[in-house]
Each structure stands twice: as C-alpha cells, then as structure tokens.
Chains A and B, each alone.
Chain A
C-alpha cells in the first residue's frame, strides 16, 4: 500500500528565514508527486508537481521541491518565507490509476 509520511506536524519559522518541509513516500515504482497548500478556511491549491524529468521542480509563490528517488523523498523548500505563507501543506503521491494518497499535513507558522 502507498503511504506518505510528513515528518513534521508543525513547523514554526521566522519571517525571511528559509524553510524545508519534509515528505517521504513508500514505493519502489514510479510515482507522481505533489505538494498542495491549504490556507485557513479554504480548499487545497496545487503548489507544484513532479511527473518526470528534472528532479528539481519549481512551483508558485517561490516554492520548490526536489525529487530524490534513492531516498524516496520529495521535500519542499523556500529560501525566504513571508507571513502569507502561513498555511497547512500536504504532500501527495499518485501512481497509475485514479487514487491519490495524502500525508497528514504540516502546519507552517511564519513568525514576524
């Protein structure tokens, strides 16, 4: 079975500091990887996705993620966070077929 592990449930970080949100998945076959963001009282929005090709993926709002097949990881990074980045972040995995598998989420709080 697929599983997605987000290692940190809460990440506090000061404004303008860098941040990394960690995601590991369990699979030895090809997967498609996604990061979604959920702002308070809203649905999920796609930040970025890895389908194939370059392992460094750039998304919206200055976020990027790196696919590491040997470590089965897809960590999300931003070099300098803003207050507006405070939100819940979800990592998701999809193989062939229709079902997505989501992690339990990481709550990012940016401190002024």
Chain B
C-alpha cells in the first residue's frame, strides 16, 4: 500500500512565524502536491512538484513556498504565517503516469494561526 505521511496532524502557530509542513511518501512517486482544504471551497492546489528540485505553482501559491530536495519528501513553507492561512493542508503523491494517474493522500495537517 502507498503510504503518505505528514509530520503533524494538528499545529498551532502565531502570526509571523515561519512554518514548515513536511510530507513523505514511500512509493517512489514522481509527483507530489500540496493542497489546502477550506469549507465550501474544496481542495485548492498550492504547489506541485514533478521531480526533485522541480516545482510549479498551483492556483493559490501566494504566501507559500516549497522544497523538494529528495524524491520522497516535499515540504510546504509558510514564510510568515497569517491568520488567513488557518486551514487543513493535504499532501498527495502520484506515480507520474501520463494521464492515467491516481493521487494518494496523507491524513492532513490542521493548521491554526493565532
């Protein structure tokens, strides 16, 4: 079974703090993704990576950055956390097959910024 793990289930930070959310997958997947999930808005893509050190902006990259130094790990960074970044953050990975692909999700990190 594919396993995608996220470093924290719940996280509370203060405004202005630098926040790191870590995601690790164990299936040698090419692609990794960061989403945020908000009520009534569904999942919105923040960034994705299709290879080590490669990244592309999703629909809502402002206020976030990412890092992928190793294939299995994809980090989401909030440079200076703000209250409007309070949300559920979901990491996903996929094999990278052209077209016929499936995403596998981690359990999510619920971040609260005070």
Contact = CB atoms under 8 A, between A and B. Distances in A.
Contacts of B113: none
Contacts of B92: 44
15 contacts: A9-B40, A32-B99, A43-B108, A44-B103, A49-B102, A51-B99, A90-B43, A94-B101, A95-B99, A98-B50, A98-B101, A99-B45, A100-B103, A102-B42, A104-B40
A8 B101 CA distance: 26
Interface in B72-114: 90, 92, 94, 96, 98-108
Interface in A77-97: 90, 92, 94-96
A43 B102 CA distance: 14
Interface of B: 4, 31, 33, 35, 40-43, 45, 48, 50, 56, 58, 90, 92, 94, 96, 98-108
Contacts, number: 59
CB-based closest 9 A-B pairs: A43-B105, A104-B42, A102-B43, A44-B105, A43-B107, A51-B100, A102-B42, A96-B99, A105-B42
A67 B96 CA distance: 24
B102 A34 contact: yes
A12 B56 CA distance: 39
Contacts of A95: 99
Contacts of A36: 105
A42 interface: yes
Contact of A44 (B90, B98, B100, B101): B90
A13 B37 CA distance: 25
Interface residue tally on A, bucketed by range: 20 to 34
Contacts of B43: 44, 90, 102
Contacts of A32: 99-101
A103 B44 CA distance: 9
A38 to B, nearest CB: 8
Contacts of A45: 105
A98 B48 contact: yes
B43 to A, nearest CB: 4
Contacts of A6: 42
A6 B41 CA distance: 11
